[in-house]
Structure 1
Amino acid sequence: MDCCSQPGLLPVAQAIKLMRAAITPITATENLSLAKALDRILSEPIYSAINVPGHNNSAMDGFALRHQDLNSEAPLKLIGQSLAGHPFKGVVNQGECVRIMTGAVIPEGADTVVMQENVRAHDDIIHINQRPKPGENIRRAGEDIAINSLVFAQGKRISPVDIGLLASLGVAEIKVFQRVKVAVLSTGDELKPLTDKLQAGDIYDSNRPTLIALLSRLNLEVIDIGCVADDPEKITAAFTRAINVADVVISSGGVSVGDADYTKEVLETLGNINFWKVAMKPGKPFAFGVLQKPNAIANKGWFFGLPGNPVSAVVTYHQLVLPALRYLAGEEFDEQPLLNISIQSDLKKQPGRADYQRGRLTTQGGKNYAATTGNQSSGVLSSVAQANCYIVLEQERGSVKAGEKVNILMFDKFLL
């Protein structure tokens, strides 16, 4: 009996572990300008070539002075000013000070900045009303990032803030992993394009547009194979085309046990199916396999078979496919943290599968509250659209009473 037909279901954590073991992360790289680097994955570490800030500068508008001159109550003489981009070129000597603006270079000789609110000025005579501490209000060179220090490790996904940080270091180009190519298709005679008029028994193909949109958040190269009828020859042709143009094939529908679900038998002719059933709800009929192909990463590609029900497709993509794709793309990342929150209402559940119920976490009066979004049927996509988190109920847990603690997994940027 193979792993596809055994009665037991694969726990979610084990499914993720098996997929990771079977996947070979991408190694091909390319150089990109910083302007095109958003959501790309670094293929090498980045070290700073400069100090940030590059010089000691003022954290306040005020006056730069020598702290030792404050040992007496004698006023100070104003000898010039230091502005951002226009530093004072002289030296601050005994009994002198310089007017300074936020971000301006600390003049030679000065070691402290007093806030302008704490002085009295009369022409070029400055009286200190409130004595600052030594070195106060000065941002030191390299305080943010020191020269030669590690800025980002290999595997970092570049965020908008990361781009700003790299720009502050003068980095104009970075080396990243090439984008993974993902082919997406749907199977099912009942599925119709959005331009068609529905007949009895027809439904619109919502999974493919959803998956393509979700994949766009990863900045992958997405190839739309289209919708394929429940016909072995057509399914074979579609999968053959898909694996010839992509590193990964993601399909929805055709992975359950119905008489017209031909995807499994087709895939067995194109490669190996590693597992077929996962102990999760929604999403038990989830498949993963390795497909043989020419001119690909290590001459093979990977297949993810998602259930046809819309919610099942979204949840299995988010919880199983997404971490696998991020690993394949060369990204290093941490698991999403879980929150432990009291649930506001009873939750129905049977032991045997981990349940990812769709919920909403809100804050009222400084306290967090969690509740489901209502109907948890795997066909009710609005349960996801109205949610901002999963209520994760462990595999062997049963029904939950209002007030019990449950684990909350917040939706991330790859789903919201």
Structure 2
Amino acid sequence: MINYNKALEIIKHEIEKLTLHIEEVDIYESFNRILAEDVIADVDLPPFDNSAVDGYAIKYSDRKEWKIIGEISAGNFSAFNLTENDAVMITTGSKLPANADTVIPVEDVEVKGDLLKLQPNAFIKKGMNIRTQGNDLRKNEIAVHRFTKIDAKTIAVLASCGKDKVKVFSKLKAAILATGDELIPINEKPEGDKLRLSNIYSLYAAIKEMNHTVINLGFTKDDKEIITQKVKAALEMDINLFITTGGVSVGRYDFLKEVFEEQGVKEKFWKVNIKPGKPIYFGVYEKDDKRILVFGLPGNPVSSLVNFYVFIKPAIDFIFKQNKIESINATLQNDLKKKDGKRHFSRGILFEEDGEWKVTSEFSQSSGNIVEMSRANCLIEIVEDRVNPKRGEKVKCILI
């Protein structure tokens, strides 16, 4: 059994060996994708000197009065040769006349006919309220860097650079399979010792939330022959990740670890010193030019999802050079029980109060309580050598 940090490093080491493919998509389809190229500005941004406010463009002097000789609105430029006596009404974003060097906001002036007067309490400074050409970005400079996750703000820059088509990394492909005699479809009512299948749905959503492709292989009974057929079929698919839940512990009917080995999956580790989710399995399947990362997650719904958040998600983020696990240090609002030497990932509710981050964790922390998991918005990470954190102490909270 290895510790959490070592396990995560092993996964990162293996996932960065995956080949990332590139495709070109329409800018409308690029949202939430990872940029696969440096986007270069093909023009200066802004492409011309323009007004930052609605106001009056002048050639700076010590004057307090000017004659209004015309107007310029956005997209409707007119050339004016201003003297120090002249002013031109101008709207926000409009191109400045060639010799204008200052814009006075409308709220700082009085207008009577074609006479413009500065308000008594207003002042002007040469160069005020002007956005100069290339101030944001110069032509041929990098506008958006490779490995940027494209959001609404990024798309605005891509559009300004004329990128109607965008090169992005292809989505990873994952297949998920659940095992367990106790499982039944969600459209059936559980009786006796049966449980509705939930892991497939939570993992499916978690992968989709990261905007990758997922194939639902459903669930199977704890029958080694059937499991072997399912695993063999999955390893023949065009996928990058194969994720299973259940069947990786030490029970009589936990066949997956054995099946993985028989099908040529090379084990990298089995069991990690964490709670919940200790019996996680990780291996790699390689054949010809195929490479699949294999994750055997515990069958308990909470353990399965926690494993995804603390192992699979950060590994995927790593290969696409995204930020590390988002976390916040918060003040604990209740005592936590932790007497062992494992790294705990306890469910918590993180909130801000009076400018301070706080977290409460008044849950049972049962690895089967999916209702508690649904109400949590963070995992409280308690390292191996820390015991029984007390109310008022600071703890690290991983956002989920």
> Normalising to structure 1: TM-score of the pair?
0.91
Q: Which of 211, 217, 220 lines up with 2:209 in the alignment?
A: 217
Q: Which of 183, 191, 202 lines up with 2:194 in the alignment?
A: 202
1:279 aligns to what?
273
1:387 aligns to what?
376
Contact 1:392-1:408 within 8 A present in 2 as well: yes
Identity of aligned residues (%): 34
Residue 180 of structure 1 aligns to which amino acid in structure 2?
Answer: L
2:11 matches 1:19:
yes
**Closer, same or farther: CA 265–174 of 1 in aligned 2, 3 Å:** same
Structure 1 residues not aligned, in runs of 5+ = 1-8, 412-416
Q: Which of 289, 295, 309 lines up with 2:283 in the alignment?
A: 289
2:107 matches 1:113:
no
Give the CA deviation at 1:339: 2.8
How big is each residue's C-alpha offset from its partner over 1:203-247, in whole Å with a ceiling of 9 and x where there is no partner?
Answer: 011000111111111222211111011111111111111122222
Q: Which of 314, 339, 355 lines up with 2:328 in the alignment?
A: 339
> Normalising to structure 2: TM-score of the pair?
0.94
Contact 2:40-2:161 within 8 A present in 1 as well: no
2:231 matches 1:250:
no
More displaced 10-residue stretch of structure 1: 223-232 or 158-167: 158-167
How big is each residue's C-alpha offset from its partner over 1:271-306, in whole Å with a ceiling of 9 and x where there is no partner?
Answer: 111101112111111111011345xxx322110111
**Closer, same or farther: CA 161–25 of 1 in aligned 2, 3 Å:** farther
Give the CA deviation at 1:337: 4.7
2:388 aligns to what?
399
1:5 aligns to what?
none
CA distance in 2 between counterparts of 1:107 and 1:236 reads 76
1:3 aligns to what?
none
3-state SS in 2 of match to 1:184: strand
Contact 1:244-1:293 within 8 A present in 2 as well: no
1:362 aligns to what?
351
More displaced 10-residue stretch of structure 1: 32-41 or 86-95: 86-95
Q: Which of 146, 153, 158 lines up with 1:161 in the alignment?
A: 153
Contact 1:374-1:383 within 8 A present in 2 as well: yes
1:365-376 to structure 2, matched below 5 A, reads: 365-376=354-365
How big is each residue's C-alpha offset from its partner over 1:55-106, in whole Å with a ceiling of 9 and x where there is no partner?
Answer: 2111111101111x2x234x21111111111123222223111101111111
1:6 aligns to what?
none
Residue 272 of structure 2 aligns to which amino acid in structure 1?
Answer: V
1:48 aligns to what?
41
Residue 39 of structure 2 aligns to which amino acid in structure 1?
Answer: I
Contact 2:67-2:116 within 8 A present in 1 as well: yes
3-state SS in 2 of match to 1:201: coil
Give the CA deviation at 1:154: 2.2
How big is each residue's C-alpha offset from its partner over 1:304-332, in whole Å with a ceiling of 9 and x where there is no partner?
Answer: 1111111111111011011223345xx11
CA distance in 2 between counterparts of 1:396 and 1:58 reads 60
CA distance in 1 between counterparts of 2:398 and 2:186 reads 33
3-state SS in 2 of match to 1:19: helix
1:264 aligns to what?
257
CA distance in 2 between counterparts of 1:276 and 1:171 reads 46
How big is each residue's C-alpha offset from its partner over 1:132-186, in whole Å with a ceiling of 9 and x where there is no partner?
Answer: 2111111122222322221222222222322222112221111122222111110
**Closer, same or farther: CA 364–200 of 1 in aligned 2, 3 Å:** same
3-state SS in 2 of match to 1:208: helix
Give the CA deviation at 1:373: 4.6
Contact 2:317-2:323 within 8 A present in 1 as well: no
Contact 2:244-2:295 within 8 A present in 1 as well: yes
Give the CA deviation at 1:361: 1.7
Contact 2:317-2:324 within 8 A present in 1 as well: no
Q: Which of 26, 37, 45 lines up with 1:33 in the alignment?
A: 26
How big is each residue's C-alpha offset from its partner over 1:390-411, in whole Å with a ceiling of 9 and x where there is no partner?
Answer: 2111111111121122122223
CA distance in 2 between counterparts of 1:277 and 1:342 reads 31
CA distance in 1 between counterparts of 2:141 and 2:134 reads 10
Please provide the CA RMSD for this pair.
Answer: 1.6
CA distance in 1 between counterparts of 2:350 and 2:98 reads 54
CA distance in 2 between counterparts of 1:140 and 1:243 reads 57
CA distance in 1 between counterparts of 2:12 and 2:350 reads 31
2:226 matches 1:231:
no
Contact 1:25-1:327 within 8 A present in 2 as well: no
Contact 2:39-2:158 within 8 A present in 1 as well: no
3-state SS in 2 of match to 1:288: strand
